[in-house]
Amino acid sequence: MRSLLRGRRLRAAACTALLGATVLGLGAAPASAAPTSSADPGTRYYLALGDSLAAGYQSLPGGGSEVGHGYAQDLAATLGQRAVQDGHPFSFTDLGCPGETTGSMINGGCPYPHPYYDSQLDAAIAFLTTHRHDDVLVTLDIGANDIGGCATAESVDAACAAKGIATAGWDLGTILSRLNAAAGPHTRIVGMNLYDPFLAAWLTGVPGKVVAGVSVPVADALNATLDLADALHGVPTADVAKAFSTNSFLPLVPLDGQQVPLNVARIMDWTNMARGDIHANDAGYQVIADTFLAEL
């Protein structure tokens, strides 16, 4: 999920994040060096898994980018405060890797530097095995990068998207099955769907409005698949698409001196699409964290 909107064209990952907002199924210690279980059984653990959103990727206004400043960090701050208030130690581990696909999560090969030697899934299983008797929360977002190359600012390739969805759906089932098998009796796993940054195409003119309009039913179909995959594995889904008002072309609201659909305004206010970055900004990441909290 690392692409940018340049001129009238969204790069492939913009589609992935847009569709990823609806696709199925984002540092930390290496799998070979998973943290040992705390001597205090009251420690509460939070493990974040997935792609660039879990990693907390953001572009910077003057150029460049950073990781480690996203919803997982926001969620960890809240969970850590709650743990302290309840008299429990707290530990946070983030395995999210920008650019991760469902396939690379299973087999390894995430393109962004990461501290674990094998796959993210292997590292996660090592963590869960070590902490099988502990209180562990796992959050997961994955699948967006399986839809690369499926859109431009002028069109959405439905066949391409369908193929990517099928791959992500199959792989997500594998991921959730293996996580469930490694999870202990006090482990909770929560998935999420994603917002639709491709709605930003609305602001590029008439063709962009058509593409933005087409993107939402595609996103809805992907979200339905994601919700089903999670449900089949007993995993609740944080409905980020709903939190971002993905389906709300009405009411019209003010944005930079014009009236735009609410869903378009949400994307422009809660992501960095104003500078072509599909990733959430600080406000958007907090919305995602709050959506997860509603499932806990």
CB atoms within 10 A of CB 233: 17
Nearest-angstrom CA–CA distance, 146 and 229 = 16
pLDDT digits (tens, 9 = 90+) for 190-224: 999 989 988 999 999 999 999 999 988 888 888 88
What percentage of the chain exceeds 70 in pLDDT?
85
pTM: predicted TM-score of the whole model, two decimal places: 0.85
pLDDT digits (tens, 9 = 90+) for 50-91: 999 999 999 998 889 999 999 999 999 999 999 999 999 999
Tokens of 193: 């769907």
pLDDT of 10 over the 50 cut: no
Q: What is the CATH topology of the domain spanning 5-293?
A: Rossmann fold (3.40.50)
Residue 73 or 114, more confident: 73
Nearest-angstrom CA–CA distance, 137 and 134 = 10
Domain definitions of the chain by residue range: 5-293
Tokens of 197: 């940054």
The residues that bridge with 48 in the sheet, in sequence order, are 94, 139
Output the CA–CA distances (angstroms, integers) from residue 117 to 28, 30, 94, 179, 243, in the order listed: 11, 6, 15, 18, 35
- For 63-205, where are the alpha helices, taking DSSP H only? 71-85, 102-107, 120-130, 158-182
70 touches 285 (CB < 8 A): yes
* Least confident piece of the model among 33-47, 93-107, 136-150, 249-263: 33-47
